[in-house]
Amino acid sequence: MPDGKTTPAIIAADSNVFKVAAIQMASGPNVAGNLSEARRLIARAAEQGAKLVVLPEFFAIMGMTDQDKLGVCESAGSGPIQDFLSEAARTHGVWLIGGSIPRTSGSADKVFNTCMVFDDQGMEVAHYDKIHLFSLSLGNEHYDEAQTIASGDKIVVFDSPFGRIGLGICYDLRFPELFRAMKNVDIIALPAAFTETTGKMHWETLIRARAIENLAYVIASAQGGYHVNGRETHGNSMIVDPWGRVLDRLPRGSGVVIAEVSRPYQASLRSSLPALHHRTMHNC
């Protein structure tokens, strides 16, 4: 470039080997406090060389009740949480996948659970509204996201300097057909807030399965710990390579998971095991 400078994204694309980060939090009902913690962790990830950073589901608010998110929902392109994401991406020169935030759905009593993506200039490049809504009735635990969340209806994949990235949120992880419909993505970003009950049995198995069957890297950023509202989330944010290896993880608490993505390594695996080309039921 004429001024002798290169943006972080271009550096990553030129090298084909770059660092990514999954951020883990134990968010509470105070939005300002959660944003402050997210800011600190994004800065740490950038300092460690991450060029692509993923926040957890509802990183900005885990309310005392399910209805609390309705009070802080934002319209598309406007609001303090979206402003924060844009500013953080620009300040730290990273592509930022903003976990998920509550955005208006057109219904007064429901929001979209939306994952937003910002490039290293702070511009929004994609957003995804969670399709599969979690429900569970097991012992003393009862969840029904459909009471306060409207379901999205569009699969979202976007091109980036790091390859094709597909977006899912939490419960989406249980539906492999969603990820196969993304058509050979290089990276799957999965913000989540898995319960401890389901997570301790299923979380790692499902993440590694999605990585293996798609020969893709998976960046799984989770809520992890005890929350003010009494909920316990599983944590174990992790980055998994296309062969199913866990490259790094964080069992509990706030922190950053870092790993290196190698596109030549991924290409060699796909060449050695061309399973994606051997599919015979493409339209199922």
Average confidence (pLDDT) over 63-91: 97
pLDDT tens string 171-182: 999 999 999 999
Report the pLDDT value the prediction gives residue 5, as an integer from 0 to 100.
Answer: 35
Query: Of 37, 69, 130, 145, which residue is the catalytic one?
Result: 130
Dihedral angle, C-alpha 125, 212, 143, 248, nearest 10 °:
-80
Mean pLDDT calculated for residue range 43-72: 97
| Predicted local distance difference test score (pLDDT) of residue 282 | 60
Report d(CA 216, CA 194) in Å as an integer: 21
Marked catalytic residue, from 57, 74, 145, 196: 57
What pTM value is reported for the model?
A: 0.93
Q: Per-residue pLDDT averaged across 7-19, rounded? A: 60
Query: Is there a catalytic annotation at residue 130?
Result: yes
The DSSP bridge pattern shows strands 17-24 and 255-262 to be antiparallel
Instruction: Name residue 95's beta-bridge partners.
Output: 52
Pairing of strands 187-192, 217-222: parallel
∠ CA(117), CA(69), CA(255), 5° rounding? Answer: 55
Query: CA geometry: angle at 223 spanning 19 and 146, to 5°?
Result: 120
196 is known as an active-site residue: no
Q: What angle do CA 82, 124, 144 make, to 5 degrees?
A: 55
Name the CATH topology of 8-277: Nitrilase/N-carbamoyl-D-aminoacid amidohydrolase (3.60.110)
Q: What is the dihedral of CA 197, 53, 57, 244, to 10 degrees?
A: -30
pLDDT digits (tens, 9 = 90+) for 269-284: 999 999 999 988 765 4
pLDDT in tens, 84-103: 999 999 999 999 999 999 99
Of the residues 19, 37, 170, 196, only one is catalytic, namely 170
